[in-house]
A and B are shown apart, each in its own frame.
Chain A
């Protein structure tokens, strides 16, 4: 059914193209802000993925080496934020980053700043929001791959004289590669098309593909140009999904 819907969507996208003055729309695409918006989205998604990986890897490791109930509880604490929608979590971030939010109130009362800081409506806020929202998507597959890791291999590396750094680089990291791959795709792919977070936390400098598609379809009602942008996004997604299929793990079943 989904495939059917997609097929319909695709046919329609191409139909819009064929009947429109095609080349003109391609020209319009390349002369517009679209390429730079795409570049920015890819960059933001990439930065989010790297941040999630750097932040999530140690935590996944911390959970994976625990045992029994402790491990279950810690894992549950990662899963709970999944149960809260992106919209609510992004709004929650807004309440603390706001000009009158808790961070500014604290900074002002401590005398660290004399004027409230503008923490929102910029690129950093969007990056923070994306990392905050996508972090559990990274941790779950990472944890799944670490859980399977045979601890005796680490002991073997240790008894053969490898220090912690060496055994991490040569044993742990290669063996959790599938988790890193799956987590990165699970974060990167949806992050490229993210809409809510840049819309609520960002300004004009953090306008992403998702915002562009939204504006073109729901505000400007420019279906032709909107379709051009969407086809490029969908093509990107298809390539990334092909990659994802290679890395399919149990991570995402745990997530839901």
Chain B
């Protein structure tokens, strides 16, 4: 009786994993299909990728995605580290509010974040464009970066800092030569997460980009909602996917280091 139950559970789990992965695998697989038809295999080919990269708007979108994400990463790493330090080492009034507000972007519907950004820009009269997109990404990526960096700081052994100080190093030297190298994997992991959050973002970007500024997700959305499914879009989605996954793998390695 128990055995049969276990078998059913196992079979069910395999099916559920299949459900999670099949669409993505099929999308990637048919991006290499040498046919205009979506789901009839005609042999391996890079033709959709060649067509894709012959399109200058794809390159512009890629370029925009990358500079916005890089800017987001750098600012989030610096501010995230500072926030994480403040939260770990000091207690102050409103700390618990700050603490719970860190989780807001993780849980609230993204459309309300996007909206508050748009209204903020309309209110202040800042013209929409690449910079407003980056500012929006930074505002929310800091949260993610802080959560990751703080997790690293929790297990930090402060006695090594005291040792450095008792050997005559000042605050700055201690930070640069002792603290920073020890927390660097966490800081980089936080930065990579900020990069991913920015690189993958669609809704905030759509609300704050204004006309004329396009990132990869905006390009994918425009193609998907206008022309529907196409092998060329499969190829673009695959390229975007590979970057996201590569970043995640590096992050995973760092968190295990």
Contact = CB atoms under 8 A, between A and B. Distances in A.
Contact of A101 (B13, B39, B247): B39
A11 B120 CA distance: 9
A138 B10 CA distance: 19
Nearest to A94: B229
B108 A88 contact: no
Given A2-B139, A234-B112, A200 B224 contact: yes
A55 B144 CA distance: 28
B10 A62 contact: yes
Contacts of A181: none
A218 B207 contact: yes
Given A5-B120, A95-B27, A213 B38 contact: no
A237 B112 contact: yes
B120 A196 contact: no
Contacts of B203: 195-196
A255 to B, nearest CB: 8
B9 interface: yes
Interface string B50-88: 000000000000000000000000000000000000000
Nearest to A60: B13
A237 B109 contact: yes
A43 interface: no
B217 to A, nearest CB: 5
A15 to B, nearest CB: 8
A67 B91 CA distance: 39
Nearest to A212: B111
Given A55-B16, A98-B229, A234-B112, A92 B23 contact: yes
Instruction: Sort chain B's interface into a size bin.
Output: 35 or more
A160 interface: no
A193 B112 contact: yes
A96 interface: yes
Nearest to A237: B108
B103 interface: yes
Interface in A39-75: 55, 58-59, 61-63, 74
Contact of B193 (A9, A104, A237, A256): A256
Contacts of B144: 256
A36 B107 CA distance: 24
Interface in B5-30: 5, 9-10, 12-13, 16-17, 19-24, 26-27, 30
Interface string B179-209: 0000000000000010010001111001100
A62 B241 CA distance: 28
Interface in A93-129: 93-96, 98, 100-102, 104-105
A237 to B, nearest CB: 5
A185 B112 contact: no
Interface stretch (A21-29, A143-151, A169-177, A245-253): A245-253
B109 A12 contact: no
B211 to A, nearest CB: 10
B106 A88 contact: no
Contacts of B100: 245, 248
B229 A101 contact: yes
A102 B112 contact: no
A92 B110 contact: no
Contacts of A62: 9-10, 12-13
A177 B30 CA distance: 42
A210 B111 contact: yes
A49 B252 CA distance: 28
Contacts of A2: 101, 104-105, 139-140, 142-143
Contact of B12 (A59, A80, A164, A223): A59
B225 A200 contact: yes
B219 to A, nearest CB: 11
B206 A218 contact: yes
A252 B202 contact: no
Interface in B140-167: 140, 142-144, 147-148, 151
B174 interface: no
> Top 4 nearest A-B pairs by Cβ distance?
A193-B109, A9-B116, A85-B200, A83-B248
6 contacts: A12-B122, A63-B13, A81-B20, A199-B225, A245-B100, A248-B100
Interface of A: 1-3, 5-6, 8-13, 15, 55, 58-59, 61-63, 74, 77-78, 80-81, 83-89, 91-96, 98, 100-102, 104-105, 132, 135-136, 164, 185-186, 189-190, 192-196, 199-200, 209-210, 213-214, 217-218, 223, 227, 230, 233-234, 237, 241, 244-245, 248, 252-253, 255-256
